[in-house]
Structure 1
Amino acid sequence: MDGVNSLVIAVIGIAMMLSGYFLYSRFLAKKVYKLNAEFKTPAHQFNDGVDYVPTNRYVLWGHHFTSVAGAAPIVGPAVAVIWGWLPAFLWVTIGTVFIAGMHDLGALWASQRNRGQSIGTLSGRYISARGRNLFLVVVFLLLLMVVAAFAVVISNLLVAQPGSVIPTWGALIVALAVGQAIYRFRWNLLAVTAVGVIALYGLIIVGNAYPISLPESTFGLAPNGVWIIVLFLYAGIASLLPVWVLLQPRDYINGVQLFIGLGILYGATMFATPTIVAPAINTNLPEGTPSMIPLLFVTIACGAISGFHGTVASGTTSKQLDRETDARFVGYFGAVGEGLLALGAIIATTAGFQTLAQWEDVYASFNDNPVGNFVEGGGAIVNAGLGIPVDLSATILATMAVLFAATTMDTGVRLMRFVVQEIGELAKIRIGVIAATVIVIVIGGGLTFSQGADGSGGMLIWPLFGTTNQLLASLTMGIIVVMLMRKRRPFLPVLIPMAFVLVMSSWAAVVQVFSFFNEGEWLLFSINVVIIFAAVWVLAECIMSMKRALSGKKEPEDDVALTAEEKLPLR
């Protein structure tokens, strides 16, 4: 299967994911989750104009899609293709259709059926109080990894691609204007979207013409360190603002622009029809490359299945859901959008090079510069297919990666703040919004700069992300299974994927524990042991909860109808 035309796998992959949305998600919505358009969502129950805000489903989709996507659906596939393009392609497509979409839709449904509570809080109701405490530990560590690592990824891209600086920060001004136009002035959504997207792409052209590079040293800090500080300050401020002011419009307009960016990449693939030079199954692996099984299933997390998605769905998205039926479009199609990004990353990193020798030279070692490989390979395809200059193509893709990562980072800080406040409640300590945000920035920034002024500490515990993320996904599905069992709903569509993800992520976690022990990586070894212990304990509690749910009485439905005044005019 070597030498396959990339257009073939693009068409097959897109067709599979769209079929999943139009067919499988409809089954889930009607038969499993039984979404009710008249159910009064938390956004209407607790509308406070800050976190709980009824939102047009297209705007909310943009927030959810860009928040969950980040850099991970680029990084994971760009690393995993070292084992060959076929395993990565199969895991991304099948995972998106049968696991990721179901998981994201389910987490969103579960949260908004419980007053918009987070998955961590739901674990206390549906599993146990002990389970909740340990669940929060896993969630906190996962968010810490995301916030710290994405700060490093973004700063590295801003340094490596100075043309992306102006569009990255200019996007904030565009987002603020879009938020005012939609919510304060009630302007037409389509017109506002068109103007916002044109402005963003105008900024990309300007940024490419006028790249900005920071001095080699600013107050003793390298450019990477300066950008990291700016990013943490921005994320802290953004997390404190009402969601409609910056977070929602920023994510929405970025989501539209980034979908157009994917369209550019796929359009270039259609016209250039580059051949995949990477092998379908790579038998000539570089020394030090770990075994594909089970590592493939945790290396590609976002883009196939990701526990982080459940944290976002239950942390911010559920508080903005206008109608329960919108969850299908926002949750499942949000996962489809991320799957399409992961598929694009596979194509860019396997068909964006001229020869197998060139590809092997780039993939001479495991986990080496995956985002750079995506930008380089994707830029070559866009240049060949659409005639866009290589430097501008690279700027477009780099900006796309930066904006994805930045939206995930600021959402991650907001979610981490919620977790800190939840932990405070358990300890009977009231932690205010500002205090919680400061704690998050101090911990995240402290980890990032723990290894030096270049911020390399942000990647210190990133090797644990894949297994932690997938363990969290399996535990989230466990909560959904318990809810479905209590309501006497079909639960096998959730239980079967949960078992598969649990086995693979647990297997990978054990492999990593021995690897860290043998290499003397005692910090990673210790944290991994804590994560495995917490996950096993929560799983045991979850299994007992499932047995109680099957033997107990059926849980009554709690549908509360919306009033006519609560239904948004923008559908």
Structure 2
Amino acid sequence: MNSVILAVLGVGMVLAGYFLYSQFLAKRVFKLQPKFKTPAHELSDGVDFVPTNKFVLWGHHFTSVAGAAPIVGPAVAVIWGWLPAFLWVTLGTVFFAGMHDFGAMWASVRNKGQSIGTLSGRYIGNRGRNLFLVVIFLLLLMVNAVFAVVISDLLVNQPTSVIPTWGAIVVALGIGQAIYRFKWNLPIVSLVGVVLLYALIMLGDRFPIELPETVMGLPAGAFWIVVLFIYAGIASLLPVWMLLQPRDYINGLQLFIALAILYVSILVSQPTVVAPAVNTALPEGTPSMVPLLFVTIACGAISGFHGIVSSGTSAKQLDKETDSRFVGYFGAVGEGLLALGTIIVVTAGYETLAAWQETYSAFNQGGIGAFVTAGGSVLNNGLGIPVQLSATILATMAVLFAATTMDTSVRLQRFVVAEVGQLMGFKLNTIVATVIVLTATAALAFGADPSGAGGMIIWPLFGTTNQIMAALTLAIITVMLIKRRRPYLPVLIPLLFVLTMTVYALFVQIGQFYAAGNWLLLVLDIVILVCALWVVVEAFAAMARAKNEPPEIDADVEAAEEEARVG
């Protein structure tokens, strides 16, 4: 099959979702109001609450939520064939992810920028909130530990990505000053920033930096992990306008250009998809596609982590409520395009079916390595970019996605730790909360493996925890819509599907972990399952109560609708 057909169909579907379905959500479900005073204005503090240009905020949001997961998940899941992965990514982006991210942002904006964890206390109850916070903490812990390992591995295995990875921080600091302190023209600043980033990629390709086997007594990978933790801690303490926001924005532009290069290469070279549509010759030990497909591909179809970002940082920077459609829904579209591109690359970037089967000789054999290798071949065949430079571009792309997600995740986990402290009756300052976050993450990364690879021991739980978080977020949005007497089926139906598949997957994993004697993952799985089911029961009880309670009224929405009727 010609890969161009998949690219055109997939891109057309997700763009149609933005131009058509998100309009329906904005007008009929969330009823966005351009005159509503957002938390960024009402609570402006110059640190976390900062009114932001919607294009800059989109860059921050897109790169924060994307991470490495929309590459890793699809690059693993195609072992079941390209068709199931393609359908889940495209339909998931349109009806699940876009609505979820958009809805979480709207819910937070309508509640003074409160995080989805705090909202669970208001709309589900204090007991549900406490259990909700447990799930959020575990998910963020996984994100921080796992992505640190992913980035470290790429820096070790692709030393040409070292200079652009760290050089991007310097570029971002300069862009932050140019936009906010000197008020320079945004398009010009953007152009200069993108040129500098690609110059760094060229420089890195010419001058790879390869660390010795041990640095300061640590293996090279472990050293990079320590540096990443220190950097992420510092970045989480700085005002968002200084580093986090401009870094995410300029990375978003650079990464979108890299996506464009990838898709243009596909259109020019038109590689044949050699992988089967549905793989009937699965390697021994490959788990069942249902339900594992729907948790293997989380980011790129629907991801609970996005709800934490939407409500934790992005909602606090929204200039106008109407911007949430572009920032939230189109942010999910960007990630869907990345996941779609990954599916095409890892199924069409091999010369023969035998070569593809050699890579996918066992479950979890795909991933970023397959994406960089196959993607390098596609870029080389399509645009004539040398294979090594192609690998540098794609490796840098993956590193920057993962790094910007880690930046945001550490900040978000600091918020969660501070919130837990308040519930326990004491206030933690930002430095103490950040130290607690980094200590917990380092304990996970290094506790099970002195090389730092211990963070990967909970990778099998990342997908299920992520999807449970998505279901819980959808439950809160559903309660809010019921209370406001708005259409709620566009949220409830995805909620029921995601919840069913994820709980099914958690039970499957319990059996696997027990059979393997993996007691740590078994205990964590049970804790997550119990907390999630408890919150779900509380949420459905809240939905039933909401139908019988007096409706919540958004005065500005009522006034706008009355004005429209009179007019």
1:432 aligns with 2:406: no
Kept in 2: contact 1:79–1:366 (CA 8 A): yes
Equivalent position of 2:7 in the other structure: 10
* 1:493 paired residue among 490, 494, 497: 490
Correspondence 1:106-185 to 2 at 5 A? 106-185=103-182
1:403 aligns with 2:429: no
Counterpart CA distance in 2 for 1:482 and 1:451 is 40
Counterpart CA distance in 2 for 1:516 and 1:448 is 20
Counterpart CA distance in 1 for 2:137 and 2:38 is 26
- Which structure 2 residue ranges, 5 or more long, are not aligned? 559-567
Counterpart CA distance in 1 for 2:447 and 2:281 is 37
What secondary structure, in the 3-state scheme, does the structure 2 residue paired with 1:461 have? helix
Shift of 1:462: 1.5
- Which structure 1 residue ranges, 5 or more long, are not aligned? 562-571
Counterpart CA distance in 2 for 1:343 and 1:502 is 24
Counterpart CA distance in 1 for 2:272 and 2:315 is 42
Shift of 1:452: 2.6
Correspondence 1:169-568 to 2 at 5 A? 169-559=166-556
Kept in 2: contact 1:57–1:321 (CA 8 A): yes
* 1:65 paired residue among 55, 62, 65: 62
Deviation sequence 1:198-226 (CA, Å, 0-9, x none): 00000000000000011111122111001
Counterpart CA distance in 2 for 1:457 and 1:463 is 13
1:24 aligns with 2:27: no
Shift of 1:123: 0.2
Identity %: 67
Kept in 1: contact 2:31–2:557 (CA 8 A): no
Counterpart CA distance in 2 for 1:89 and 1:403 is 24
Shift of 1:276: 0.5
The one-letter code of the counterpart of 1:322 is D
Kept in 1: contact 2:359–2:366 (CA 8 A): no
Counterpart CA distance in 1 for 2:358 and 2:27 is 50
Deviation sequence 1:23-76 (CA, Å, 0-9, x none): 000000000000011000000011000000000000000000000000000000
1:56 aligns with 2:60: no
Shift of 1:453: 2.6
Kept in 2: contact 1:32–1:490 (CA 8 A): yes
Equivalent position of 2:564 in the other structure: none
Shift of 1:357: 0.3
Q: More displaced, 363-372 or 167-176?
A: 363-372
Kept in 2: contact 1:25–1:328 (CA 8 A): yes
Counterpart CA distance in 1 for 2:557 and 2:231 is 38
Runs of 4+ in 1 over 6 A off after TM superposition: none
Kept in 1: contact 2:380–2:387 (CA 8 A): yes
Kept in 2: contact 1:163–1:212 (CA 8 A): yes
What secondary structure, in the 3-state scheme, does the structure 2 residue paired with 1:47 have? coil
Deviation sequence 1:451-492 (CA, Å, 0-9, x none): 233211111111101111111101100000000000000000
What secondary structure, in the 3-state scheme, does the structure 2 residue paired with 1:367 have? coil
Kept in 2: contact 1:38–1:560 (CA 8 A): no
Deviation sequence 1:243-295 (CA, Å, 0-9, x none): 00000000000000000000000000000000001000001111110000000
Counterpart CA distance in 2 for 1:12 and 1:531 is 37
The one-letter code of the counterpart of 2:376 is G
Counterpart CA distance in 1 for 2:193 and 2:85 is 34
Counterpart CA distance in 1 for 2:447 and 2:150 is 16
Shift of 1:558: 4.5
Shift of 1:380: 0.3
Counterpart CA distance in 2 for 1:555 and 1:217 is 60
Shift of 1:369: 4.7
Kept in 1: contact 2:32–2:321 (CA 8 A): yes
Shift of 1:429: 1.5
Shift of 1:317: 0.4
Count of residues paired in the alignment = 558
* 2:71 paired residue among 74, 81, 84: 74
The one-letter code of the counterpart of 1:172 is I
Kept in 2: contact 1:84–1:281 (CA 8 A): yes
Counterpart CA distance in 2 for 1:136 and 1:298 is 21
Counterpart CA distance in 2 for 1:502 and 1:26 is 26
Kept in 1: contact 2:33–2:557 (CA 8 A): no
1:99 aligns with 2:87: no
